[in-house]
Amino acid sequence: MVEGARGIQSVEVSGRILRALARSARPMMLKDLAEDADLKPAQCHAYLTSLKNVGFVRQDWATGLYSAGPFALRLGVSWLNGNPQTAAAKLELKVLAEDFGVMALIVVWSSFGPSIAHTYAGWTQASLNLRQGSIFSVTGSANGRLFAAFGGAPEIAPMIEAELSRKAQKAGIGEDVETEDFPERIGEIRAQGYSVAEGRPIPGVNAVSVPIFAPTGELAFVASLIGSAANLPVGRDAPAVLRMLQLGRTLSATAADPGTRQKESAE
């Protein structure tokens, strides 16, 4: 197919509806969903009927609200298993999680910020309230600061500004960070190629996260370990930090040290 060839309009309209549901991340009324997808309610309802039939959308029988359906989740899982980098990350993080007795995460960028796409609790008692879809603060979490340091999504800079200026309530998990401290922290992360959280925002809980780069050189996702400080020291020479750095180098598409990537600051 040549570039610029015509597509199927009905599929593209369905995509607008699914993107509206993804942006909302909560069940929606028909009129709100139609407005967000720039459709008339009757037209939106017809598309929703077909999307329900194939499992992309579900409708609560009691409230009438629409949300993403089970097939949407299956597509997400298929991406995790079918993408060579995420599939390899799942296997390697499972080993690390069990070796250190901590939880492992794969975090991707979504419309709402850094979002958990995969969790593995291993043999530990997972007392942390972290699950698929949980959102992290961009400025106040180890995962979020990697997106700030290396990410290219256009939403990153406005989210950073809103969080640092306290203009918006922090949407995700993370500590409060002072504006004057943030550029220095991002510079350190770029130089060392990883990010940590030590006892903040959750006392007694540490995290270490590394960027995974796509073949294009762009940040693809973040791999992270999180657990008790006793099990997960995060000093520069800590075993978990060294093994996560190796994981990042192995999984990234190029051999360049992530710390040498001088992307424009998103601050």
- In this predicted structure, what is the pLDDT of residue 126? 56
Q: Which domains, and CATH codes, for the chain?
A: 9-69 (1.10.10.10), 83-260 (3.30.450.40)
Q: CB under 8 Å to 139, separation ≥6 — which residues? A: 145, 148, 160, 163, 164, 174, 177, 182
Q: Which of these, 87, 209, 75, 238, lies nearest to 151 by C-alpha position?
A: 209
For the stretch 37-73, pLDDT in tens is: 999 999 999 999 999 888 889 888 889 999 887 777 6
For the ranges 23-27, 116-120, 169-173, which has the lowest average pLDDT?
Answer: 169-173
14 pLDDT higher than 80 = yes
- Residue 234: pLDDT band by 50, 70, 90 thresholds? very high
User: Which token pair is 236?
Assistant: 């520069």
Element (H, E) at 226: strand 219-228
Average pLDDT, stretch 156-185?
Answer: 80
Q: What one-character-per-residue DSSP string does 84-104 give?
A: HHHHHHHHHHHHHHHHHT-EE
For the stretch 130-153, pLDDT in tens is: 888 788 999 999 999 999 999 998
